Amino acid sequence: MEYGIIEKKAKEFCKKHNINSAPVEIIKICNDLGIKVFETYLKSDVSGLIIVDDKPWERYENAQKFILINLMENPARRRFTIAHELAHYVLHRDEGKLYAHRDTVQGGSRIDRVESEANFFAANVLMPEDIMRFAVREIEGRSLYKMPGLMLVKEIADIFLVSEAAAEVRLKQLKLF
């Protein structure tokens, strides 16, 4: 899927779910969609996964749609993983039922593409362009001088409750850093 299409879908998603301030209430959005979120201990190489099934899973409150998040990850990472798994539901649910989140590795395989698409959608939902641009203007407006890039990244990460790495990538995508 082209990134322009993913960006458009993310903007439509944000509009539909009234995302107009930071931080985005990603768990509430999942719940509104009937997707329960559970924090648990997963293998160290899995940040999270989403299950969409026809039958209820007794172990997870009889849910048929749920996201499992690895408690070993820090809170900012867990928020991004929730949005990433939600992205699989929005973008890829017709391609299968189970997704395991893993960092993108080298190569051009379909899994790499699917994971990159989910990351891009998640970033667009957790850090929508218009809210990001507003936040950057506000931050720079408070400063008497142009804020060094790393300080801007930290402030954005704190506002949007994402990792500094995610904030930096998103700022670069929007050419704000």
23/34 same-domain check: yes
112/134 same-domain check: no
98/156 same-domain check: no
pLDDT at 146 over 80: no
Q: Mean pLDDT across the stretch 160-173?
A: 96
52/33 same-domain check: yes
20/38 same-domain check: yes
- Give residue-wise pLDDT tens across range 93-122: 875 555 544 444 445 555 688 899 999 999
Q: What would the two tokens of residue 73 be?
A: 């990850």
| Residue 106, pLDDT score | 46
| Residue 142, pLDDT score | 82
47/57 same-domain check: yes
- Give residue-wise pLDDT tens across range 55-68: 888 999 999 899 99
Q: Mean pLDDT across the stretch 16-23?
A: 97
Domain count, the chain: 2
145/132 same-domain check: yes
70/85 same-domain check: yes
Q: Which residue has the higher pLDDT, 107 or 135?
A: 135
**What is the extent of the structural domain holding 106?**
3-126
- Give residue-wise pLDDT tens across range 29-65: 999 999 999 999 998 888 999 988 888 889 999 998 9
Taking the C-alpha atoms of residue 171 and residue 177, their distance in angstroms, rounded to an integer, is 5
Phi–psi pair at 94, nearest 5 degrees: -80, -10
Q: Could you give the count of Cα atoms lying within 13 Å of 24 in the half-sphere of its Cβ? A: 28
Query: Is the CB of residue 124 less than 8 Å from the CB of residue 116?
Result: no
Tokens 């990460």 sit on residue: 157
Across the chain, what does the average pLDDT equal? 89
